[in-house]
Chain A
């Protein structure tokens, strides 16, 4: 059972692949938050052996679920109210990512027009391949 002590209302990102929490922390921009954020690394897990966990005080609007889904859609989100898990959510691979990844193709129009949003779409769900909307270049994680 996941220990949520110390968190009254908030969310817990569980089943993060061990060692990935720092990357997720950065991608989600958690350093910009004023609220409590706790990172637990290498927690024991019966399913995964070892896992990372991130606890965030506040509502679900604190994190971009699309970004999280892209980074690792096996992460579970637990929503905590009054120190209890009231809801568990699974993530889906987002269909579209806007300004999360940058296109690295030097021939892409985004290199000419800096004002364009960098948009990637899910091209293949099986292989989890994302491609640039403009040039179709594959995104590298």
Chain B
């Protein structure tokens, strides 16, 4: 391959490339059949050192929808490939087996290390609390498809903004579009880390506010991005228990929101969105899963250099 590309951070893609991928995702959604043989004879390796069934199934569905096949492992504990073997070495082996790979690891930077040894495109499917660029593509695809634009939006992020990597990645991506505004809703302990606040938000000059109450912000948001407080990111159980139920979006609170506000959530949800909200037409977090598959299909085609080939 002459132009080997990876997706490690959402910033690896230019705005033009994101637009290309999301346009392709929309075309695929319109006409999935004409893409069902694009990856015939090609293999996607899913290297999941940390289990994440939903993300893995989304990748695998994407590749199967394109007519390709899949290999890989779904949990480091049960895989011989990871017994003391470094990510670098595993990657060197996978180079010989697959045409493209998606890697998920609990350590930050693992995908970058894999990419440094790869001769095939590497997709970061989540590296610890760090980046999760295909979730970002999923989120962007959902917003673009349902709002028709990625600019001029007021987006609220609520919950764990400290460890919530999907939030960090999406903020990174959205500050690049004009006239977006952010409302960051979190308890003091879970505010966005300094590198997002200083180097991304302040640096880019976007408008943003940090608040603690969800109720006060709902009325003029275009998007509300809810997150769960993740137990595995805490070293201290007590702190987790104290913070996990801080924000619960229910029918009552949804009355405060505008009729066009969309609720997104990277899933799985625990209890931060009451199930009574699921039937609200503004709740699009299950649609998001579908948009995620189209986004991943488009990404796989893009990274394999197959996005322009006619069917």
Contacts and interface: CB of A to CB of B under 8 A. Distances in A.
Interface in A96-115: 105, 107-113, 115
A107 B129 contact: yes
Secondary structure of the A side of the interface? loop
Interface stretch (B106-114, B135-143, B150-158): B106-114
A121 to B, nearest CB: 12
Contacts, number: 59
Interface residues of A, number: 22
B152 to A, nearest CB: 28
A80 interface: no
Please tell me the size bucket of the interface on B: 20 to 34
A112 B128 contact: no
Nearest to B233: A107
A83 interface: no
A65 B12 CA distance: 30
Nearest to B105: A109
Given A107-B129, A109-B107, A134 B112 contact: yes
Nearest to B116: A116
B14 interface: no
Interface string A13-53: 00000000000000000000000000000000000000000
B130 interface: yes
Interface of B: 86-88, 105-110, 112-113, 127-130, 194-195, 198-199, 203
Interface of A: 105, 107-113, 115-116, 123-124, 127, 129, 131-138
12 contacts: A109-B87, A109-B109, A109-B110, A111-B107, A113-B113, A115-B88, A132-B109, A133-B112, A134-B109, A135-B108, A135-B128, A136-B195
